Structure 1
Amino acid sequence: MDARFLRAVGAATAVYGLAVAARPEYLARPSGLTDGFGEVAQETATSLRPVGLRDAAIGTAMLLAPTGPALATATAARIASDFGDALLLGATLPPWRRAPAVAVSVGWGALSVIGLLRAPGGKTSGTPAPRRRRGH
């Protein structure tokens, strides 16, 4: 597990989540959840704010959790949320908005998966270190 990488993902997620909670249009507009004038209905904003708060909470947990099982659990919650978002958005958004929204959700989930699989310092777990030849 690359804790430093996961904490960076957590920090970015927390900041974005707080931004969406404060300004739901940051999520609504790219997702196509606006009216014909590009405005976000009050009902839509109300529905998106908890998503922002969820992301802020999980991102903060990733940022502050001790390295080990606690960080892995916070990261698993992040992955489940991102892949869950991808499934729901892919099933419900208008066709022209699906691919970008799903790609963003899967991308964020994939970053967390990478962080879990990487060894500290950026090497993927399970990858042997290069062998050094004597005398070189």
Structure 2
Amino acid sequence: MKQLIDFLQQSDALTCPADAATIDRAQQQLNMTFADDYTALQQNIGVISYRSHEVFGLGVKESAWLNILRSTPELRAENTAFPASAVPLMDAGDGQFYLYDNEHGTILVWSSLAGIIETQNVSLEAFLLTQLAN
């Protein structure tokens, strides 16, 4: 996570980290256990706004679309095959989202119409660095 933190500190990115109590409550409400790298992302960075990119997470009001406590249940309601251990990461456009699967540590491309379209076996940090650098 160090490279991502360094990148964000050197940029004009806005971040909103979450405290441990918020992370614990989110895991309970979403009925999942966050992977260590996702927990570290939320503790150190949280939601990210950088140029035209927005990364979902915790650390902002629960009523905000970027807060996973709002967006995850809404996306689950759009398709019953929404992966149980996934949370949204970024909007991929055209009705698709990048999800982070906490159980498998993979990035998924998902749509409410088609379900999982693609699985990317890249680390969370590498994925975010690539997306934010574009």
Which TM-score tier does this pair reach, normalised by the shorter chain? Answer: under 0.3
Return the TM-score normalized by structure 1.
Answer: 0.26
Tell me which structure has the larger Cα radius of gyration: 1
Return the TM-score normalized by structure 2.
Answer: 0.26
